[in-house]
Amino acid sequence: MEQNKTPELRSGEVSNGSEVQNDATVQFIGTIRTPYTSRDLCPRQGKLDGPDCRLELFAQWHAALTGIEKFEHLDVLYWLHQSRRDLVLQSPRDNGQTIGTFALRSPVRPNPIGVSRVRLIRVEPGILVVKGLDCLDKTPLVDIKPSRCEFTSQAPEKAADTPL
């Protein structure tokens, strides 16, 4: 189960004991199609009554959509592939006043992952048609989850759910 378990050492090999990992790889699971073909055309926030957009999944993930049709709202994660990643302070109005990156929802951030709540309109084979996105056409797709508000955990309850 635990993919990052420290592998066993071979005879003579020496580890420094560190299990600290400083990064990880995101594998894209598909592509987002929107009407926004340039950044100027992207609205600042998607609207749930906006235009239809398509989440097109790569073939190996099609079956992972099983059961998704029962949710009206989904959280969609995507990789803002045109964003720079180095800014700590930003000036959204370009007026000399700055705000910390983590106090903004700007696409410019150390890990340019966008999170949008969308409305599920229709399921086609390997494709979800949704409303509510504001990202560029061809943005890489990273994850899809049922909206927190509509989701009831399917796993059995455990002691940790009811602390004393």
* Interacting residues with a second copy between 117 and 146 (CB under 8 A): 117, 140, 142-146
Number of residues in contact with a second copy under rule CB under 8 A: 75
The backbone region for 62, taken as left when phi is positive above 0, alpha when psi lies in -120 to 50, beta otherwise, is: alpha
Q: Which of residues 7-26 bind a second copy (CB under 8 A)?
A: 21-26
Q: Which of residues 83-112 bind a second copy (CB under 8 A)?
A: 83-85, 88-89, 92-93, 98-106, 109-111
Judge contact between 150 and 73, C-beta under 8 A: yes
Shortest Cβ distance from residue 159 to a second copy (Å)? 8
Distance between CA atoms of residues 119 and 133, nearest Å: 9
Q: What is the DSSP letter of 35?
A: S
Distance between CA atoms of residues 137 and 86, nearest Å: 24
Shortest Cβ distance from residue 11 to a second copy (Å)? 28
Residue 32 CB contacts under 8 Å (≥ 6 apart), including other chains:
53, 54, 55, 56, 76, 78, 133, 135, 137, 138, 139, 140, 141
For 132, other C-beta atoms within 10 Å of its C-beta total: 21
Q: Which residue, 8 or 94, has its beta carbon nearer to a second copy?
A: 94
Binding-site string for a second copy from residue 29 to residue 68, where x marks contact by CB under 8 A and - marks none: x------x---xxxxxx--------------xx-xxxxxx
Distance between CA atoms of residues 139 and 40, nearest Å: 15
Q: Which residue, 54 or 109, has its beta carbon nearer to a second copy?
A: 109
Q: Which residue, 45 or 122, has its beta carbon nearer to a second copy?
A: 45
Shortest Cβ distance from residue 153 to a second copy (Å)? 5
Shortest Cβ distance from residue 9 to a second copy (Å)? 21
Shortest Cβ distance from residue 154 to a second copy (Å)? 4
